[in-house]
Amino acid sequence: MLPDITPVLEGYSLSPGEYIGIPIALVGAVLLSLGAHYQHRGVVKVEANSGVEQSSGLNIKQLLALAARPSWLLGTILLGVAVLFQLTSLNFSPLTVVQPLGAVGLVVTAILTSRSSGIKLDAISKRAIAFCIGGVAVFVIIASMTTKSPPITEVQLTAVLVILVVVLTVAAVLFGIFRKRMRALAYVVAAGVLFGFVATLAKVVIGRIQTLIELEFQRGGIEWLTIGCVIGLLAAAALGSYFVQSAYSSGPPDLVVAGLTVIDPIVAITIGIVVLGEASTAPWWAIIAFIVAGAVAVYGVFQLAKHHPQLQH
């Protein structure tokens, strides 16, 4: 007979109000997949018309040309709405719960890509997507039972900003060195890491503002750390968006979405657990489950990148 873990979970599960963020995040995930699909269509057309080597990344002329593509503009609008849904979900629920739910968009994107390209997903690709979704699903279920959203401190804010500065510097330097040799997966990984920080900083800013309102701005003055977080969020979003557009030019949209909806939450959740302390009261078995589930999801991304049928044509 399996042991009763109910006593272990007492005090860990989300409050009724915190569960509201889950359906909101799911709607955002569907909008993300639709936005990625239409953005990919626009980027492919612009890249094909330019004749520039795919792995070199989009140049300024190509970026400007995207603004004239209706499909890309529609995708951008949908992604913007998806971000609003994501931010709203973060206002209700812990980062470790809602951020991985973006993986639902991977299924929608895979279906859209298969129909638009006329290339059916093979068994290996379907299995890879199943690994992504399965790993993320296990992660979310456990996170919903074992994590909380504690108040954000100045030390935590500073730590996140310092890490982000290092990541932005490393990403920019590596891109400058390896730009001519970068492929879709490299762009996806880089974008996923940066957007993980975007999600974290968004959560930090929301939490910080709520804390300041509760304190009725007792200290007064300008919250420079919060402003720094907003600046860091915008910088990470800008560079991450460029990497995403470049990934679209050299890979299928479901690979891009797979990377973003797996790598992004893993980075964000790692920061949420290690820096923000969202799993500070989680039992030991939950930490092990997080690691295993995350590894399964990442494995799925790399398998999808290696065996996707569209990359073989």
Query: What is the C-alpha to C-alpha distance for residues 301 and 313, in angstroms, rounded to an integer?
Result: 19
Structure-token pair, residue 174: 């590596």
User: Which secondary-structure segment (H or E) carries 299?
Assistant: helix 284-307
Query: What is the C-alpha to C-alpha distance for residues 101 and 227, in angstroms, rounded to an integer?
Result: 28
Q: pTM here?
A: 0.73
Residue 148, CB half-sphere, CA atoms under 13 Å: how many?
Answer: 13
Query: What is the C-alpha to C-alpha distance for residues 145 and 132, in angstroms, rounded to an integer?
Result: 21
From the number of C-beta atoms within 10 Å of its C-beta (0-12, 13-18, 19+), residue 102 rates as buried
Q: What are phi and psi of 10, to 5 degrees?
A: -60, 130
Q: What are phi and psi of 278, to 5 degrees?
A: -70, -20
Please state, as a whole number, how many other Cβ atoms lie within 10 Å of the Cβ of residue 281.
13
* pLDDT tens per residue across all 313 residues of the chain: 444 444 444 444 566 667 788 888 889 888 888 888 888 888 877 776 665 555 556 667 777 778 778 888 898 899 889 888 888 888 887 777 777 777 777 777 777 777 777 777 778 878 888 888 888 788 877 877 777 767 777 787 888 888 888 888 888 888 887 777 777 778 888 888 888 888 888 877 777 776 666 665 555 555 777 788 888 888 888 888 888 888 877 677 777 777 777 788 778 878 877 877 777 777 888 888 888 888 888 788 777 766 666 555 5
